[in-house]
Structure 1
Amino acid sequence: MSKPFSRLRRITLAAATLALSFASFSASAAPQVIRIGVATAGGGEPVTWGGSPGGVVRVNQWLEKEFKASGVQVEWLFFKGAGPAVNEALSNKQIDFAYQGDLPQVIGRANGLKTKLLLVSGARNNLYVATPPQSEIRGIKDLKDKTVSIFRGTNGHLVAINVLAANGLAERDLKTVNLDAGSAQAALVSNGVDAVFGGFELFKVRDQGLAKVVYSTQGQDPAFTRQAALLVREDFEKENKAEVQRVVDVFVRAADWSSDEKNRAELFRLWALSGTPLASWEAEFDKQELAQRNSPIPDDFIVARYKAVVDDAVKLKLIRRAVPVDGWFDTSYLKASLKKFGLEQRWAEYDARGRAKAGGASVASR
């Protein structure tokens, strides 16, 4: 081999090696920013939300502190349009993680969004019906032919329909209007509607004497509750596994703290920074264990609820075809976090009907 050719070959190999090194570095480099979409307008300064361990993460800036040394910025985006607006942001790759309810997550999946559900972050959320104080409406059956606000496409939508069905009514028996939470409250206090289906936000107007709550799912069949979870875009997860694990670690820490009864008063205080009064959180969580509501575990009950949401969404033609739930929950990151923090037995698991099972958290692969 001639010396010029040998020298050229060495230069070529060195260049190729250098190129591979740069490619490897690029593939493993952390993202410059992590964007988290939250399916609520939120409130406070900075904007936050309550009812989920995620709100604890936000208020305490645990993610910002986690990634500070890595030079990774954390951005929180809040959506007044709730779940449907979050799905649009996911579709346009404007966010990497999303906190939203079960129905919009199912609709997004049915419409082709490639996501993975990482952990539960706010289970068994209650649903209420509120009316103006002077209303003669006393319960669900009295809603027939009345003008009623239901925020369509959110995780309260299907629960409202199921509650109606349990009382012999269908959505078509009502004069429904589609209003977001803020607009629904405004319509309620101005007598623009006869009733509103909503969540804990209705306690604020009740306690101000501007409305009365005539129905609650609290203490009833757990099938009449709403679930919320943290998900991630599949392509972001594939490229940033280490960062996804760190995000899950932080949410699990928050779930552990938020499940401790000795932190109840402080938890509600933090959530109240969102603008929802302390009394509203006390009413929403009345006679309910924090660990049951704040567990991150996608147990049989959670999976069964997601499957039921799929079935109901198909029946109501909210989605055109059933989409699989099995395999959607990626519990690998959650398992790693539970093991890391010694929390494998921290939370009880529940069967498909919502009854406690023997033993702790097994977090079976799904």
Structure 2
Amino acid sequence: MSSNDMECLLMLIAPVISKRDTKFRTAISAKERLLVTLRFIATGDSYKSLMYLFRIPVSTISLIVPDVYRAIFDVLKRENYLKTAVTTSEWMQVAKGFEENWNFPHCIGALDGNHIVMQAPKDSGSYYYNYKHCHSVVLLALVDASYKLLYIDVGCNGRVSDGGVFSSCFFSSALEQGHLDIPLPKPLPGREKDTPYVIVADDAFPMRLYLMKPYPFHNQPGLNRVSNYRLTRARRVVEIFFGHIAQRFRILRRPLLLGPEKTVTIVSAICALHNFLMDRNDGNYANRSNFDVEDVQNGEVIGASWRNEEQGTHNLIPIQTGQCNKNSHDTRAICEEFMNYFVSPSGEVPWQYRYI
């Protein structure tokens, strides 16, 4: 975070986190409160380590940190740094980004979820116990073509099945009821059949008219493999998002020693900070080495720097892949229309047949 970003963030949240001086002592400044909290989130240092660094007692830090990251989330959310598109024009801008950057038209977001590992809550039994035999809450994220968050749902207990995480969130019900003003179906470029705007996801999610995922199982025909490659290429942005926040916010690299409510708040604050810093775009937080770079001539991908780190160095666990493969006639028709587009002269990319 640059000094300019720091000052901008401080200006936004200072009225919320500032404390009054008293006759007995001078209050810890808003800037120092913010610095302690950012250090905690960025490094994952313990309160005791922060005590020696900032000369503030552990008991005081334990009050400052939750207060500040709660303020970060509340203020940045109010400032629309975590805002879901709600108009047709906004969704069209998202779709334009996927078409221009990832050659995937009619895409309004990439969806995925990860378990945020935490210590076992007291008297919770198996409520938060997940398939990886640890306790967690789920972060569900919808990301646009430039790695910014369009929607998050954090807090679903880790025991919930993969399909249930999405089905129980507000975004899913809003899509089902048509409250988000998604653009009406229209033909893909160079095609004639009306095709809806879709979200791309993986096998952990159920197929819907608005949710597209790869063809399941191995040994698929060549055209299906082309479609899977193109879909996975667009969906990669959400995987990159999770890898990026695990690299930048190192508190996510080990189980959070917090209860469920504080875990939800701190993860929400991290997501809000991500969008804030992506909007600032000064190169310190979001430089080229932090994201996959693709050669537009041959499709070769140069992995982000975090991909070179040892596997298992963070505690973001993918949600379990299920077998949600019951597709209706309409969803199959949509998949086939996208597949036909991807192998048509107007929709194919020259390198796609080398990656199937």
Structure 1 and Structure 2 fold alike (TM over 0.5): no
TM-score (norm 1): 0.29
TM-score (norm 2): 0.30
- The structure that has the greater radius of gyration is 1
